Amino acid sequence: MSNKTIFGLILALIVVVVGWQSFFVVSEIQRGIVLQFGKVVRTDVQPGLHLKLPFVQEARLFDGRLLTLDTATQRYLTLEKKALMVDSYAKWRIADVERFYTATSGIRALAEDRLSRQLESGLRNEVARRSLNEVVSGERDQLMADITTVLDTSARRELGIEVLDVRVKAIDLPNEVNRSVFERMSSEREREAREHRAKGNELAEGIRADADRQQRVILAEAFREAEQVRGDGDAQAAAIYAEAYNKDAEFYSFYRSLQAYRESFASKSDILVLDPDSDFFRYLQGGSAP
C-alpha cells in the first residue's frame, strides 16, 4: 500500500469523523441545547437535523415528554395540629431548556429531587392552612389546585420546569393514632347504637301498651256484644217458651216431664229416692196434672 493511499484513507476517516461531529438529530420527544466550551450558545433546539461546530460545540438532549414525579408518603400537620400521612405525585415537563440545564446540569434525578422538596414544602403549607375535614374531603380539589399553581410558579422560576398537575393519591392517619381513632369511632358507634336501641325499646313499649289497650277494648266490646246477643236470645227463647206454654199448658207440662225423665234415668247407675206419690211421677201413674 502506497503512502498516497494511506494518506487518502486517513483523510477520508478525518472527514467522516468531522462530519459525524458536525451533525446531531433532535427527535420529536426531545428538547436540546448547544454548548460551546460549556457555555450555552443555542437554546431550545427544535426537532430535526442540525449542524454544530465539531469538537468545539456539544449538543445536549433532554426528555421533553410529560413526566411523573412520584413522591414518598410524608407526614403533615393540619390547622388543628392533627397529623396526616399524604401520598402525592406531580406531572411536569421542561419549559425552559436553558434554565433547566443551568439549574440541574440536565440531570433528571437532581431536578426531581429539588422539585420533590418544593412539592413537600408547598403541601406542608397548604395542609397547615386547612382543617382535617377540609383536607380530606371539603377542600381537597382546591388544595391540589392551589399547590399546583404555587409549585408551577416556583419551579418555572428556579428550575425551568412546568408543573401541570399535582394530585393527592391517598390521605391516611399515622399508625400510632390509627388505634386511638378506631377506638374512639367504635365507642361513638356503640353510643349511637345504645341510643337507637333505647329509642327502639321506647317505641316498642308504646306499641305494646297501645296493642294491649286495644286488645282490652276489643275484648270488652266483644263481651258486651256477646252478653247483649245472649240476653236477646234468652229473652226470645223465654218468649217462645211462654207462647208455646200458653197454647197448650198441659202438653208443655207433659213434654217437660218427659225431658226430666230422660235426663234423670239416662244412666242405669243413677239412684233416685222419691216418694212414689210425688208430683214428679204423675204422668207415669196414668193421671193428668192437677
Pair 52, 76 in one domain:
no
Predicted confidence at residue 100, as pLDDT, reads: 92
Pair 276, 257 in one domain:
yes
DSSP class of 53: -
Given a cut of 90, is residue 248 above it in pLDDT? no
Angstrom distance (rounded) from CA 62 to CA 35: 14
Domain closes at, from 135, 153, 172: 172
Predicted confidence at residue 204, as pLDDT, reads: 92
Pair 131, 57 in one domain:
no
Angstrom distance (rounded) from CA 86 to CA 161: 23
Task: Work out how many domains the chain is built from and give that number.
Answer: 3
Residue 216 lies in a domain: no
Pair 53, 119 in one domain:
no
Q: Which of 136, 108, 114, 119 is nearest to 74 (CA)?
A: 119
In the numeric block, which cell numbers belong to residue 69? Answer: 414525579
Q: Domain with 74 in it: what CATH number?
A: 3.30.479.30
Percent of the chain with pLDDT over 70: 81
Angstrom distance (rounded) from CA 145 to CA 72: 20
This prediction's pTM:
0.56
Angstrom distance (rounded) from CA 23 to CA 126: 48
Predicted confidence at residue 240, as pLDDT, reads: 83
Average pLDDT for 258-273 = 70
